[in-house]
Structure 1
Amino acid sequence: MKIATYNLRCGGKANQPVHWTQLFEAANPDIFLVQETCSPEQYVTSRFWEGHQQQVQWAKVGTNAWGSAVFVRSGTVSRIPVADFEGCVVGVEVEGFAGSANQGRKLRIFSLHAPAPYKPSVNRILDWIGSLPDDSDLIIGGDFNLTVGVRHPDEKQQDQDLWLLERLRKEFGLISCWQAANPNRNLPQTLRWSQDKATPYHCDGIFVPAAWYRYLDHCEVLASPLWEELSDHNPVVSSFAPGQDNDNFSPKLAAGHTEQGNKVVY
């Protein structure tokens, strides 16, 4: 199973609506979380749209042509209305998703693009998600406009949003795919401002249940001249290999992890 997140930047490169197809060719995700995307129908072939439109939910932000979307390859996908953040957040509930690490539970998935002011907005969004029934596995991903990883002391960029990571871990039981799969590595760049292409902003991420850690194969930020041309963000892709023994989860630490009490330290 693969999960990807990608901010297209105001609908993507003008007159070149290829962002969805490029991502599908590069990563072939089973779950795709998209931000600043126009109607998904504009980016894919008519054949793909005819066969998959029931698997997509999209909403635009206000009067903009673009908003957020969620694509789920299998299962029955139902929209979760998010009235106060329409288009900035798109949520779906999925029954019968074939790639789930826990076949006995539904999936609840949110594609998030945090509006300013970022910290209060993200807290309000998480408050709302936390008010939903605890009857589903939860995935939250997208462009948080906040740092979504722990930085090492020697990293050039030292902005820390540990409150966000702690809240996602403690209240929702979620871990960062990139950090869990890449212990002891500096955070790679996922955003390049037009006036500052060098600073390694790392604001795009995918958070999944901690119980999925044993199935996490790898997580990467796709970087090449192609992605730099299409958007000021880089896609993030996580890959999982679900096993058969989904009960009684007991995580095995990957190389490079240490454990202090019940906390995994990167």
Structure 2
Amino acid sequence: MTDDVSPGTRIRGRRPPQGDPVVDRALALLGAFDSNRPYLTLSELSRRTGIPASSALRLAGRLLEWGALERGADGRFSIGMRLWEVASLTPRSHELRRVALPFMGDLEEVTRQHVLLAVLDGEEAVMVERLSSHGAVAALYRPGGRMPLHSTGVGLVLLAFAESGFQEHVLGEPLMHLPEKIPVSAAALRRTLAEIRRDGLATFRRGAPEPIVSVAAPVHDAQGTVVAALSVLVPAENAEPRLLGPAVRTAARGISRGLGAWRAPGTP
């Protein structure tokens, strides 16, 4: 089924010769939103998706009825709570979050900063949970947001324990540390990944917008596969990675045991 495709007579029961299926267009509308543009007008939705305004309005109406979109008094659209409700049922993150939250809470209480939990999705890390204390250092990424693998603590852990073919694919891309936009040496990154696999711990330093240190460790499932990465994010001033490392590693192992891992690789 398609919607407002090309001029001419439409043959009942048959797809017109041009145009995307309705489901693709609906997904395109949802994909038009991002962290920088959580509210969009109809014209903005049309422009960002390439869907004619009349079709965008009709599709948005259906999404409003279902709860995937909401519309404010000013007429702008935003993502609806129904999508959050559905997304929270994702098996990969639901059980992981349930097991991880008590350990994350302990880390947050000790550090009084950010504690992050992320999983690998495509060529990026997705933050599935974050606990943050009042007054914590500025964080670039939000829960549900995507994070670069080569330029975050959790991302480096997930990349270090990914399949070698996937690693080489990422290493073959032109990479830059964000947000500083400093080129990343593939050789240096390869050495860093080897150290993370050896130590079971990653330390990443970022210079902007505020100097921070991220210390991250892998989370394993019952098969010993790394399914997530846990990290703390603290101000670079007076940061002590040597002291944070054991705490993060212990919490990650506790989560791993909760997921069925009898013994995390590298433990005695």
Q: Confirm or deny a common fold (TM above 0.5).
A: no
Q: Which has the bigger relative contact order, CA under 8 A and spacing at least 6?
A: 1
TM-score (norm 2): 0.32
Larger helix fraction of residues: 2
* Structure showing the higher strand proportion among its residues: 1
Q: What TM-score comes out, normalization by structure 1 length?
A: 0.32
